[in-house]
Amino acid sequence: MLRIEDVTVRFDGSAAVDDASLEVGRGEVVAVLGPSGSGKTTLLRVVAGLQAPDSGRVLLDGVDLAGTAPHRRGIGLVFQDHALFPHRDVDGNVSFGLRMRGDPPRRVTARTAEVLELVGLTGFEHRSVGSLSGGEQQRVALARALAPEPTVLLLDEPLGSLDRRLRDGLLEDLGQLFDELGVTAMYVTHDQTEAFTLGDRVAVMRAGGVVQVATPDELWSHPADADVARFLGLANVAGKEVVRPEAVTVRASPDGNGTVESAVRTGPLVRLRVALDDGRALEAAVAAVDHPAPGDRVDVTIDPEGIVRLR
């Protein structure tokens, strides 16, 4: 439905987006994942029409969007740091798109209430934007973008400025929302959890180019190259081989083949760094409550299924 073909954008000589191509199907959520400076925001702005590409094109349902002004594209955008209109209250913000296209007042009120309910902000119509918390502001921004039922919804790191708990809660809500509404969306983030949770497919960007597009499972099991693997948070990347931490079994054993260097609990899992006698270092993810401590001798075995060959 949305097709980005070989888009390049240059700023001062260097390419911010370099020959990027991507397809988003109807009702699909594609997460664009990449570190800062990888060009993901610029790509989003090109799709929204806020930035003209130096080459390449964007097609919506087969129609080239070149020459169509942003306000005619029917593409919504949720900005990083919300960009809510400070001189309007919540209602003024959310109903903005509806008023711009001339909906009758009754319809506007109804739809505004509907959308506010969707994001869990019922009754917030007359609150001033400045008095809202960060999470509330982001939800208003979302509601505002959703209200006019855009063909495509673009989101630029919308959860970036929120604390963990808020983010996780909103993440869940967003996921549900996307499913319910069957939204066609591009979701830009640098956070892997967000990308994997929301994205039907994930596009990894690096230095302006799209490096890999795959479902979360595929991406996790077969990262395209070492950089992608490292970016995904995979440890144990050595050359063309990656050993999954879950595939490393560690058992306490006085005459084992390695020593535990560190043990860090990251919630349900414990990450153990083990220095093997043969010089290698491996990271293991262990689910047991009882686990070896630093300095213990352990026996390390690797499940061959857990070895990934990089392309």
Partner 1 sequence: MRRRTWRAVTYGVPLAFLGLFFVYPLAAILDRGLRGAGDPPLDVLADPLTREVVWFTVWQALASTVLTIALATPAAYVLGRYRFRGRSVVSAIVVVPFVLPTVVVALAFLAILPDGVERGWAPILVAHAFFNVAVVVRIVGTFWANLDPRLGEAAATLGASPAQRAREIVLPLLAPALAAAGAIVFLFSFTSFGIVLILGGPRYATIEAEIYNQAVRLFDLRAAAVLSLVQLACVVAAVWVATRLERRLVVAGGLRAERDTLRSIRTRREKLVVAASLGGLGLFLGLPLAVLVERSLAVGDGYGLDAYRALAEPTSILLASPWEAIVNSFVYAAAASVIAIVVGGLAAFAVADTRGSRLLDLLVLIPLGASAVMLGLGFLIAFDTPPLDIRAAPWIVPVVQALVAIPFVVRIMVPTLRSIDPRLREAAALLGASPGRVRREVDLPIVARGLAVAAGFAFAISLGEFGATVFLARPDRPTLPVAIFRFLGRPGEVNVAQAYALAVVLMAVTVLSVLLVERVRMRRGGWF
Q: Which of 34, 39, 53, 76 binds partner 1 (CB under 8 A)?
A: 76
Q: How far is the CB of 279 from partner 1 (least distance, A)?
A: 46
In angstroms, the CA 221 to CA 33 distance is 16
First to last CA, the chain: 29
Among 46, 75, 132, 143, the residue binding partner 1 under the rule CB under 8 A is 75
CA distance 226 to 211: 12
Looking only at the bridges linking them, the beta strands covering 29-33 and 185-189 are: parallel
- Choose the stretch contacting partner 1; rule: CB under 8 A; options: 73-81, 183-191, 252-260, 301-309: 73-81
Q: Where are the beta strands (DSSP E) in the chain?
A: 2-11, 14-24, 29-33, 55-60, 63-64, 75-78, 152-156, 185-189, 201-206, 209-214, 237-238, 241-243, 248-252, 258-266, 269-276, 281-286, 297-302, 307-309
Assess contact for 18 and 34: CB atoms under 8 A.
no
- The stretch among 20-28, 142-150, 174-182, 296-304 that binds partner 1 (CB under 8 A) is 142-150
Residue with tokens 């050993």: 243
**Between helices 105-118 and 134-146, what is the axis angle to 10°?**
130
**185 scored as a contact of partner 1 (CB under 8 A):** no
- Residue 83 makes contact with partner 1 by CB under 8 A: yes
Least distance to partner 1, CB of residue 46, Å: 13
Of 86 and 304, CB closest to partner 1: 86
Among 36, 67, 87, 287, binds partner 1 (CB under 8 A): 87
Q: Could you say which residues in the range 23-62 bind partner 1, by CB under 8 A?
A: 48-50, 52
Pairing state between β 237-238 and 241-243: antiparallel
Q: For partner 1, which residue of 144, 167, 190, 206 counts as binding (CB under 8 A)?
A: 144
Min separation Cβ 183 and partner 1, Å:
15
In the complex, the smallest distance separating the C-beta of residue 143 from partner 1, rounded to whole angstroms, is 12
Q: Which is nearer to partner 1, 86 or 268 (CB)?
A: 86
77 binds partner 1 (CB under 8 A): yes
Taking the least distance from each CB to partner 1, the nearer of 103 and 299 is: 103
At 28, give phi and psi (nearest 5°).
-95, 145
Distance in Å, CB of 21 to partner 1, minimum: 23
The reply to whether 145 sits near partner 1 by the rule CB under 8 A is: yes
Q: Is 309 near partner 1 (CB under 8 A)? A: no
How far apart CA 195 and CA 29 sit, in angstroms, is: 10
Q: Are 229 and 310 in contact (CB under 8 A)?
A: yes
Least distance between partner 1 and beta carbon 199 (Å): 21
Q: Which of 79, 187, 196, 231 binds partner 1 (CB under 8 A)?
A: 79
Number of residues that bind partner 1 (CB under 8 A): 30
Q: What DSSP string runs through 205-249?
A: EETTEEEEEE-HHHHHHS-SSHHHHHHTT---EETTEEE-GGGEE
Name the segment binding partner 1 (CB under 8 A); options: 97-105, 236-244, 248-256, 265-273. 97-105
- Residue-by-residue DSSP string for 280-296: -EEEEEE--SS---TT-
User: Which residues of the shown chain bind partner 1 in the complex (CB under 8 A)?
Assistant: 48-50, 52, 69-77, 79, 83-87, 96-97, 100-101, 129-130, 144-145, 148, 150, 154
